[in-house]
Protein backbone atom coordinates (compact mmCIF):
# COMPACT_ATOMS: atom_id res chain seq x y z
CA UNK A 1 0.00 0.00 0.00
CA UNK A 2 1.43 3.35 -1.07
CA UNK A 3 1.33 6.74 0.54
CA UNK A 4 -0.56 9.90 -0.27
CA UNK A 5 0.98 13.34 0.03
CA UNK A 6 -1.38 15.99 1.40
CA UNK A 7 -0.59 19.70 1.06
CA UNK A 8 -2.65 22.50 2.60
CA UNK A 9 -3.20 25.22 -0.02
CA UNK A 10 -5.89 27.37 1.61
CA UNK A 11 -6.18 28.93 5.04
CA UNK A 12 -8.25 27.50 7.89
CA UNK A 13 -9.28 31.01 8.92
CA UNK A 14 -13.05 31.50 8.79
CA UNK A 15 -13.69 27.75 8.56
CA UNK A 16 -15.81 25.67 10.89
CA UNK A 17 -14.30 24.22 14.06
CA UNK A 18 -14.81 20.74 12.62
CA UNK A 19 -12.76 21.54 9.50
CA UNK A 20 -10.00 23.09 11.61
CA UNK A 21 -9.89 19.98 13.80
CA UNK A 22 -9.74 17.76 10.71
CA UNK A 23 -6.72 19.67 9.37
CA UNK A 24 -5.07 19.38 12.78
CA UNK A 25 -5.75 15.62 12.86
CA UNK A 26 -4.10 15.29 9.46
CA UNK A 27 -1.04 17.09 10.87
CA UNK A 28 -1.46 20.31 8.87
CA UNK A 29 -0.78 23.62 10.60
CA UNK A 30 0.32 26.05 7.88
CA UNK A 31 -0.36 26.80 4.24
CA UNK A 32 2.01 24.88 1.91
CA UNK A 33 2.83 22.35 4.63
CA UNK A 34 2.96 18.78 3.31
CA UNK A 35 2.44 15.51 5.17
CA UNK A 36 2.39 11.88 4.04
CA UNK A 37 -0.14 9.31 5.21
CA UNK A 38 -1.10 5.76 4.37
CA UNK A 39 -4.47 5.90 2.57
CA UNK A 40 -6.67 4.20 5.17
CA UNK A 41 -10.45 4.69 5.09
CA UNK A 42 -10.20 7.10 8.04
CA UNK A 43 -7.58 9.28 6.34
CA UNK A 44 -9.46 9.27 3.03
CA UNK A 45 -12.63 10.35 4.86
CA UNK A 46 -10.82 13.27 6.47
CA UNK A 47 -9.34 14.24 3.11
CA UNK A 48 -12.82 14.26 1.57
CA UNK A 49 -14.14 16.59 4.28
CA UNK A 50 -11.46 19.25 3.67
CA UNK A 51 -10.82 18.64 -0.04
CA UNK A 52 -11.45 22.32 -0.80
CA UNK A 53 -8.49 23.32 1.44
CA UNK A 54 -5.91 20.72 0.35
CA UNK A 55 -4.26 19.09 -2.65
CA UNK A 56 -3.48 15.37 -2.67
CA UNK A 57 -1.12 13.31 -4.81
CA UNK A 58 0.36 9.84 -4.81
CA UNK A 59 3.74 9.65 -3.11
* pLDDT given at position 23: 98
Mean pLDDT, contiguous 10-residue spans, the chain (59 residues): 95 98 98 98 98 96
* pLDDT given at position 47: 98
* pLDDT given at position 21: 98
CATH 3.30.1390.20 fits 4-58, yes or no: yes
Domain residue ranges of the chain, discontinuous segments joined by +:
4-58
* pLDDT given at position 1: 73
Taking the CA of residue 18 as centre, how many other CA atoms within 13 Å lie in the half-sphere pointing to its CB?
A: 5
Please enumerate in sequence order all residues whose Cβ is within 8 A of that of 2, keeping only pairs 6 or more positions apart, or say none. 38, 39, 58, 59
* pLDDT given at position 31: 98
∠ CA 43-46-50, rounded to 5°: 140
* pLDDT given at position 58: 95
Amino acid sequence: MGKIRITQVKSAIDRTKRQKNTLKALGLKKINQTVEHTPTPQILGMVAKVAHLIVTEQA
